[in-house]
Amino acid sequence: MALPIYASPLERAWHYTYLVICALIFLFLIAPILIIIPLSFNAEAYFTFSEKMLRLDPEGYSLRWYDRLLTFGMVAPDAPRDAAWWSDVWHNASWVRAAKNSLIIGFFATLIATVLGTLAALGLSRPEMPFRRTIMAILISPMIVPIIITATGLFFFYSMVGLAHSYVGIILAHATLGIPFVIITVTATLVGFDQSLNRAAASLGASPTRTFFQVTMPLIMPGVISGALFAFVTSFDEVVVVLFVAAPEQQTIPRQMWNGIREQISPTILAIATILVAISVALLTVLELLRRRSERLRGLSPG
Amino acid sequence: MKRMLFLTSTLMCVGFAAAAQGELNIVSWGGAYGASQMEAYHKPYMALTGIKINSIDADNPATPIKAQVEAGNVSIDIADVEPSDLVRLCDEGALEVLPIDELPDGADGTPAADDFIEGGLYDCGVGTIVYSTLIAYRTDTGVAPTSSADFFDLEKFPGKRGLRKGAKYSLELALMADGVPPAEVYDVLGTPEGVDRAFAKLDTIKDQVIWWEAGAQPPQLLADGEVVMTTAYNGRIFNAMMEENQPFALLWPNQIYDFNLWVIPKGAPHKDAAWEFIKWSTDTQRLADQAGFISYGPARKSSSPLVGLFKDGKTEMGPHMPTNPDYVADALTTDIEFWADHDIELNERFNAWLAAS
Amino acid sequence: MADIPADQSAGIMRAADGRPLKVALARAQTRARRRAFLLVAPLLFFVLVTFVVPIGQMLHRSVHNPTFVDNMPQVAAWFRDTPAGTEPDEAALAALIAYLAAAAEARTIGAVGTRVNYEMQGTRSLFTAAGRRAGRLEAPYREALLDIDAKWGDPALWSTMRQVSTAYTANFYLAAVDRTRDLDGSVTRVAPDRAVYLTLFQRTFLLSALITFLCLLLGFPIAHLLATLPLRYSNLLMILVLLPFWTSLLVRTTAWMVILQGQGVLNNALVSLGIIGDTGRVELMYNQAGTVIAMTHILLPFMVLPLYSVMRTINPSYVRAARSLGATSWTAFRRVYLPQTLPGIGAGSLLVFILAVGYYITPALVGGASGQLISNLIAFHMQNSLNWSLAAALAALLLAAVLALYWLYDRLVGVDNMKLG
């Protein structure tokens, strides 16, 4: 991106303007996410930086909103913080229950989406696959069809077959929503996959199963894991289907946030938001490491 | 795959087992009102019977009922609804018909049928509170509105307004602000010209309105300074004033009265337990108890003498109740039949009006 | 060697087991195809059951509403057997009254009234009122009904009842495009003060187009920067694009609410810097501005990623060649670089547009009244008004638009070329 030596002064000026514009756009992208982090430590119940916060006075900061995440919904939040208190948190605190639900639903949805999605991606990337394009289009469509339409359809269908208000119903729905991501990432990995490796394994006497687990699998693993991460995040972030088909027992984190945002956006919402941002950062790191590993395995130049 | 099926079916069983032990899913309006029900009814009842009560919040608890009944999967045992929704749902067969003669007599011996304030007892529902929708405003803007007309006066009172998103309450308020006496509001609103007149009045502030949906939103909008005036439920504003020392005040003239009632959706999973809860929670003492947590009037006449102080132990509730004689003179009582019949068409018109910018 | 088939000499190749090679190859290919298909089959079945069937079933609802037929079968039968415009006779009225009484008893009268009310405003109360008194009515029934309400003599009411007396109807699609049937059954526009859906479809597409344009405007420069920087730097900067992409939608929406509120971070900063007065706070939320700003932010990564992957493949020597041939930097950009990015622009724009037209959460939270999109109205009819057939009809129209765009995307870009980070 360095300027060529023959650049005119006008071009130079434009070049620096361009860099400033880019910096502003990056700021636009990242600032909203960063701004909520300090605000979640606000000692006051407001969404602006108090003077104490700006002066970096420790009194302006507090963990009270994080504490609220634990105490909200408890039977006896003011009891002394002993084992009974923590058991109360574990069983009754709304956000803790929501987190448990999110993890359970996310885990099973990811499992289904990843297993079925990876198998299908293996089939789809074989050159002899019939109706490849059409089938691919159908399998990707859950990502494209507006979520409100999916949720509406599921509401009627689940009511008819008795899956509404059940964990299974939400898990199946979230698995469906996560599948396109698994297909996309795994097929992308398989594009660079050398099919002659499979043939070599077969000619050396390996059964197809053994070939899959010992040759194919390790090579496409980074793609599978990043697909699984996408599927998990999709489930972890999904609120509309939960709004339409879940019962109160299946309240998830986004569902709880939805309530909180509409009723009272107290900084508690910012506290949970900050935790979610931290989780995204962790996931992103894992993904980046996987990408590097994948590039190394496939002999591409490291980034 | 098998293992997963096994795990998920175990999960389901756990879910069912928990539900079988005696739980009640009660849907209400959330916020300070939901909290008052939690304190006055749910917590004592859980302690008394060991039944676990799940309190669920909704913008309007009537809306999930119809959806659940029609779709054939009801998870709600009890919902807290407005009378107009009750009549509508009852007509459509979405509610259980209750044996209301089983309700306990009032503490003074009056039979339940006579003890409830008129409009507080139906064959599909039992009243708990009388509340009012009225104008709330910030007291720190320097000028205080004195009538509903001031709500529409953007010159004297500049700033954003909050209104409940929907035809109900908005149209009545607009007509009263336009000079229609409360007694004639529904006659006027029953004519096409009256509806036009109400919308024309709303037009004058349309671009200054922030529409709220959940009852907890207006106190928040006022507290954040997003609006200077808003329609609100009186109890929510009262609690924000008492508990958070917010600089709010209420404008009692032209308040719009209504009830809230317990109903049981048709096919509720714990129908009998739900009815037991309703019988218990609507006796004289329990209804009076709730008034100690929020400034809503009890639906039984026999409860009124028992209403004491706010939970802070010093505030008399009387002056904050919508039923206070000083406030009822030019109050409007919501016409239940009118809204049961016109809800759909007026809301369609309202949506069209809202969408046209 | 005597049993060598005679056609060997004709040049037909054979596999080891003696079958003609062509047949063996075809069979092997069939087997390979079947194997490939079997790998895909479980997922295809899964998606059909958990996704395609539910949506199909919902679409069925948009043309199927049997409320009237189910509750008043004999009345519906009378409508079916008589030509349009027939005056109801006493037998038909007797059947109607009997069903009104039965429906009132079974508490389904409200449902029937609501169904008729969808097509003709203000008729619900006719049914509930008549139902309450139907048990006591005596012949002649015509007079008895008119006695309850003169509207029972209105031909428009009977024409409407005739329309709803069939289970299958296209009327919900008419309603979804602000049309209705008049007395003689021909299609007309609804009164302007009731028209809402066309406006909302139009707004949804206009706002989505605006958001797509803004995403392109903001996405193009940074995608270009990312594609031309050395990998070391661009990978770092890429995190700034990927982090929002991986952050919860609700978190990002909340963040914008915190920033854009009247008393929010942005307005407070502007006030304390003295740029605006305390009374002149900018309204950025609960209106279209809020929807556009928040959605642009949320959808921007979907524009940057496809642009970036196309720009990475553009050989910088083309632009240098153009420059060396005398083109100004602007000409070189416009005539040489830009055309090569078109596939990325197309892919990103289509993806952002498709995702934008179906957005629900963000407009619901920051859009106020003027920033609502068609999805919000579908949700309204699903959850508040409970006119599910109308919700399904609106959903069908939206789905048709999205699928058409998706088909276009598949033709132009190919779904298998979709990249995620």
Going residue by residue through chain C, which has 421 residues, state the pLDDT in tens, using 9 for 90 and above.
445 554 554 577 787 778 888 888 888 888 888 988 999 999 999 999 999 999 999 999 999 998 888 888 888 888 888 888 788 888 888 888 888 888 888 888 888 888 888 888 778 888 888 888 887 888 788 888 888 888 888 888 888 888 888 889 888 999 899 888 877 778 888 888 888 899 999 999 999 999 999 999 999 999 999 998 988 888 889 889 999 988 999 999 999 988 988 888 888 888 888 888 877 788 888 889 999 999 999 999 999 998 998 898 888 889 889 988 988 888 998 999 999 999 899 989 999 999 999 999 999 989 888 888 999 999 988 888 888 899 999 999 999 999 999 999 888 887 777 766 5
CA distances from A217 to A187, A193, B4 (A): 13, 11, 21
CATH number of B2-130+260-308: 3.40.190.10
Q: Give, rounded to a whole angstrom, the gap between the first and last alpha carbons of chain C.
A: 64
Q: Which SS3 state, helix, strand or coil, does residue B261 take? A: strand
Within a domain: A121: yes
Mark whether A63 and A151 lie in a shared domain.
Answer: no
pLDDT, one tens digit per residue, over A19-31 is 999 999 999 999 9
Which 8-state DSSP code applies to residue C52? I
Q: Tell me which residues of chain C, numbers 259 to 278, contact chain A at a CB-CB cutoff of 8 Å.
A: 259, 261, 263-265, 268
pLDDT number for residue A289: 85
Within a domain: A10: yes
For residue A198, count CB atoms less than 10 angstroms from its CB and return exposed for 0-12, middle for 13-18, buried for 19 or more.
middle
| CB pair distance less than 8 Å for A119 and C32 | no
Mark whether A178 and A274 lie in a shared domain.
Answer: yes
Give the β-pairing of B248-263 and B78-81: antiparallel
Contact between C354 and C406 under an 8 Å Cβ cutoff? The reply is yes
Q: Which residues of C touch B224 (CB under 8 A)?
A: 261-263
Contact between B184 and B232 under an 8 Å Cβ cutoff? The reply is no
The CA-based dihedral angle spanning residues B262, B264, B270, B276, taken in that order and rounded to the nearest 10 degrees? 40
Which 8-state DSSP code applies to residue A215? I
Residue B196 parent element (H or E): helix B192-203
pLDDT number for residue A238: 93
A121-125, B117-121, C179-183, range with the lowest pLDDT: C179-183
Q: How confident is the model at residue B9 (pLDDT cuts 50, 70, 90)?
A: very low
**Does the N-terminal peptide bond of residue C140 adopt cis geometry, omega within 30 degrees of 0?**
yes
Mark whether A138 and A255 lie in a shared domain.
Answer: yes
Q: Is the pLDDT of residue B5 over 60?
A: no
Distance CA B343, CA C124 (A): 10
Q: Which residues of B touch C382 (CB under 8 A)?
A: 67
Distance CA B1, CA B22 (A): 33
Q: Say yes or no: A2 contacts chain B, CB-CB below 8 A.
A: no
Q: Which residues of A touch C249 (CB under 8 A)?
A: 237, 239, 254
Contact between A154 and A241 under an 8 Å Cβ cutoff? The reply is yes
Q: C177: which strand partners? A: none
Q: Is the pLDDT of residue B8 over 70?
A: no
Q: Which SS3 state, helix, strand or coil, does residue B258 take? A: strand
Mark whether A241 and A184 lie in a shared domain.
Answer: yes
Q: Is the pLDDT of residue B3 over 50?
A: no
Q: Look up tokens 């007291």; give the residue.
A: B139
| CB pair distance less than 8 Å for B4 and A166 | no
Q: Which backbone phi and psi does B129 adopt, to 5 degrees?
A: -135, 160
Query: Of A28, A136, A181, which has the smallest distance from its Cβ to C415's Cβ?
Result: A136
Question: How many CB atoms neighbour CB C2 within 10 A?
Answer: 3
Q: Compute and round to an integer the Cα radius of gyration of chain B.
A: 21
Please tell me the number of Cα atoms within 13 Å of A228 on its side-chain side. 17
Chains linked to B by 3 or more Cβ pairs within 8 Å? A, C
**A–B CB contacts, 8 A cutoff, strictly below:** 58
Total of domains in chain A: 3
Q: Say yes or no: A103 contacts chain B, CB-CB below 8 A.
A: no
Mean per-residue pLDDT for B183-201?
93
Mark whether A69 and A154 lie in a shared domain.
Answer: no
Give the β-pairing of B78-81 and B229-233: unpaired
Q: Look up tokens 């632009």; give the residue.
A: C319
Residue A36 parent element (H or E): helix A9-39
Q: Which residues of C touch A233 (CB under 8 A)?
A: 246
Distance CA C272, CA C274 (A): 5
Which candidate, A30, B41, B12, B146, places its Cα nearest to that of C237? Answer: A30
DSSP structure string for C112-174: HHHHHHHHSTT-HHHHHHHHHHHTT--SSHHHHHHHH-GGGG-HHHHHHHHHHTSSB-SHHHH
| CB pair distance less than 8 Å for A155 and B30 | no
Q: Give, rounded to a whole angstrom, the gap between the first and last alpha carbons of chain A.
A: 17
Q: Is the pLDDT of residue B214 over 80?
A: yes
Q: Which residues of C touch A284 (CB under 8 A)?
A: 239, 242-243, 246
CATH superfamily of B131-258+329-355: Periplasmic binding protein-like II (3.40.190.10)
Distance CA C1, CA C277 (A): 105
**CATH architecture classification, C197-417:** Orthogonal Bundle (1.10)
| CB pair distance less than 8 Å for C375 and A49 | no
| CB pair distance less than 8 Å for B344 and C368 | no
How close, in Å, is residue B33 to chain C by CA atoms?
Answer: 21
Q: b/e for A261-271, b at 16 or more Cβ within 10 A?
A: bbbbbbbbbbb
Q: Which residues of C touch B337 (CB under 8 A)?
A: 125
Test the A interface: residue of B6, B11, B233 with most A CBs within 10 Å: B11
Give the β-pairing of B248-263 and B209-212: unpaired
Distance CA A236, CA A33 (A): 18
Please give, one letter per residue, the 3-state secondary structure of C283-337.
CCCCCHHHHHHHHHHHHHHHHHHHHHHHHCCCCCHHHHHHHHCCCCHHHHHHHHH
Q: Say yes or no: C249 contacts chain A, CB-CB below 8 A.
A: yes
Q: Which residues of C touch B91 (CB under 8 A)?
A: 107, 109-110, 113, 128
Q: Which residues of A touch C293 (CB under 8 A)?
A: none
Distance CA B226, CA B210 (A): 8
pLDDT number for residue C32: 86
Which candidate, B137, B83, B139, B119, places its Cα nearest to that of B263? Answer: B83
Q: Where are the domains of chain C?
A: 6-50, 67-169, 197-417
Q: What is the CATH number of the domain that holds A286?
A: 1.10.3720.10
pLDDT number for residue A211: 86
Mark whether A154 and A28 lie in a shared domain.
Answer: no
| A144: its two tokens | 């494209």
Query: Of A159, A168, A265, which has the smallest distance from its Cβ to B72's Cβ?
Result: A159
Q: Is the pLDDT of residue B10 over 50?
A: no
Which candidate, A244, A132, A105, A118, places its Cα nearest to that of A181? Answer: A118
Q: Look up tokens 């109801």; give the residue.
A: C88
Query: Of C107, C124, C194, which has the smallest distance from its Cβ to B348's Cβ?
Result: C194
Chain B residues with CB within 8 Å of chain A CB: 1, 4, 7-8, 11-12, 15, 18-19, 25, 30-31, 54, 56-57, 59, 67, 71-73, 75, 213-214, 216-217, 220
**B–C CB contacts, 8 A cutoff, strictly below:** 97
Test the A interface: residue of B24, B60, B73, B239 with most A CBs within 10 Å: B73
Q: Which residues of B touch A256 (CB under 8 A)?
A: none
| CB pair distance less than 8 Å for B342 and C199 | no
**Does the N-terminal peptide bond of residue C301 adopt cis geometry, omega within 30 degrees of 0?**
no
Contact between C272 and C306 under an 8 Å Cβ cutoff? The reply is no
Per the structure, the complete domain to which residue A280 belongs is given by 102-297
pLDDT number for residue A296: 74
CA distances from A184 to C47, C49, C299 (A): 15, 21, 19
Q: Which residues of A touch B214 (CB under 8 A)?
A: 262-263
| CB pair distance less than 8 Å for C111 and B344 | no
Q: Which residues of C touch B209 (CB under 8 A)?
A: 369
Which 8-state DSSP code applies to residue C258? H
Is the complex ipTM more than 0.90? no
Test the B interface: residue of A47, A103, A249, A268 with most B CBs within 10 Å: A249
pLDDT number for residue B11: 44
Q: How far is CA C233 from the centre of its chain?
A: 39
Which candidate, A29, A26, A24, A50, places its Cα nearest to that of A38? Answer: A50
Q: What angle do CA B267, B273, B278 make, to 5 degrees?
A: 95
| A244: its two tokens | 């339409």
Q: Say yes or no: A188 contacts chain C, CB-CB below 8 A.
A: yes
| C338: its two tokens | 């830009």
Q: How confident is the model at residue B155 (pLDDT cuts 50, 70, 90)?
A: very high
Q: Tell me which residues of chain C, numbers 363 to 382, contact chain A at a CB-CB cutoff of 8 Å.
A: 365, 375, 378-379, 382
Q: How confident is the model at residue A1 (pLDDT cuts 50, 70, 90)?
A: low
Test the B interface: residue of A110, A264, A266, A269 with most B CBs within 10 Å: A264
Which candidate, A168, A164, A167, places its Cα nearest to that of A153? Answer: A164
Q: Which backbone phi and psi does B309 adopt, to 5 degrees?
A: -95, 160
pLDDT number for residue A199: 85
A97-111, B108-122, C46-60, range with the lowest pLDDT: B108-122
Q: Say yes or no: A107 contacts chain B, CB-CB below 8 A.
A: no
Q: How confident is the model at residue A278 (pLDDT cuts 50, 70, 90)?
A: very high
pLDDT number for residue B24: 92
Helix extents (H) in A55-93: 64-71, 83-92
How close, in Å, is residue B193 to chain A by CA atoms?
Answer: 35
Within a domain: A302: no
Average pLDDT of chain A to the nearest whole number: 87
Mark whether A180 and A239 lie in a shared domain.
Answer: yes
Domain B2-130+260-308 identical in fold to domain B131-258+329-355: yes
pLDDT, one tens digit per residue, over A252-267 is 999 999 888 876 667 8
Query: Of A21, A32, A160, which has the smallest distance from its Cβ to C221's Cβ?
Result: A21
pLDDT, one tens digit per residue, over A48-76 is 777 788 888 888 888 888 998 888 878 78
Distance CA B251, CA B234 (A): 10
pLDDT, one tens digit per residue, over B27-74 is 998 888 988 999 999 999 999 998 989 888 887 888 888 888 887 888
